[in-house]
Amino acid sequence: MEKILIIFGTRPEAIKMAPLVNKLSKFYKISVCVSAQHRQMLDQVLEIFNIKPDFDLDIMSDNQDLFDISSILLSKFKSVLTDVAPDLVLVHGDTTTSMIASLASYYLQIPVGHVEAGLRTHDIFSPYPEELNRQITSRIAKYHFAPSKIAKNNLIKENIPEDNIFVTGNTVIDAVKMITKKSSEFNFSKSFLEKVPKKIFDHEDSKIILVTGHRRENFGIGFENICFALKEIASNFPEVIIVYPVHLNPNVLKPVKNILKNVPNIFLVEPLDYISFIKLLEMSYIVLTDSGGVQEEAPSLGKPLFIMRSVTERPEVIDCGNAMLVGTESSSIIGNVSLVLENQDIYRKMSQANSPYGEGDASDKITKIIREV
């Protein structure tokens, strides 16, 4: 094996694949292809990790849907794969980019390695379309790099050969460790500092609730419920500071701004670059999210986590005691968050730093496995 093509397209994928790009480049000729499903947010991560793509497909345009993205990618990946002729293609997780890249590789009979393999909710519409994307990728991939034993067992139940499954931990922990070393010397942007109160830097008195949300299945009533819950929490606990970097999708922006814009202790800010986000995560008291990656990052930093989804493909974070699955019903979010804000014993139990996804050496393990196979 000499040539490896690494394909990703979103900010979370870039964060999780960047440590692996750096490790593998010491041993192989690495080509990086980005679809740019997340253009601006992707570019920020590439700059942080000093990665310059060999192929930038720049596929996004206004009002695209999954049909548009999938058809465009399939054609473009054919050209890239034919040009590079890699011995192995590496994809990540559950995006449309990963699924279509795997399919294109299959058509050309190129082996695929799947990083963060085996996550499952067993409901193809939650999360949508991610759950089906990763299931299809698993059917195509030859090598499966699972972040946990639970993920490995999911694959075994689907008749994936056990010899092709490797428990490696999650590369996001590698990335978090890299970034936390930089974050102490990093300053927030001027625009962020202008929107938040100065007392958030008073670690003795401030209790920051960090909120993220962007899941497609929460669009509509789900996001409205989340916003009403945040408004109620802000009213019941005026001493807390709720900071919400708002996703740019109009389906998120509209309800968030309509419901939360005039709440005095809720601060709506623009999406943060990754170093800023990790720095804010380190400063936070608790975290509310519907994101996948935050479910991995928050426990590694000892942050109590409330997952605003009906189901999670990361049950490890609940099993280790750092997280609660609270759904999107306002009463559930308010009740559980209030309980942890009011009860120090529960807070202390949830704030023990746990990393069910390894110690930050997943990229080393994956690299070692690839060299051996």
Catalytic residue among 39, 43, 54, 216: 216
Cα separation of 353 and 302, whole Å? 4
Catalytic residue among 13, 38, 92, 94: 94
Answer whether 117's CB lies under 8 Å from 91's CB. no
Cα separation of 32 and 86, whole Å? 11
Q: Which residues pair with 114 in a beta bridge?
A: 91, 144
Catalytic residue among 13, 114, 116, 217: 116
Cis peptide before 127 (omega within 30 of 0): yes
Catalytic residue among 130, 174, 297, 313: 130
Known catalytic residue at 296? no
Known catalytic residue at 43? no
Cα separation of 66 and 39, whole Å? 16
b vs e for 21-59, b when ≥16 Cβ sit within 10 Å of the residue's Cβ? bbbbeeebebbbbbbbbbeebbbbbbebbebebebbbeb
Catalytic residue among 39, 43, 87, 214: 214
Handedness of CA 217, 16, 9, 243 (dihedral sign): positive
Known catalytic residue at 247? yes
Pick from 122, 121, 123, 81: nearest CA to 102: 81
Known catalytic residue at 116? yes
Cα separation of 60 and 38, whole Å? 8
**DSSP letters along 71-91, please?**
HHHHHHHHHHHHHH--SEEEE
Known catalytic residue at 38? no
Known catalytic residue at 94? yes
Judged on CB neighbours under 10 Å (0-12, 13-18, 19+), 204 is exposed
Residues known to be catalytic:
94, 116, 130, 214, 216, 247
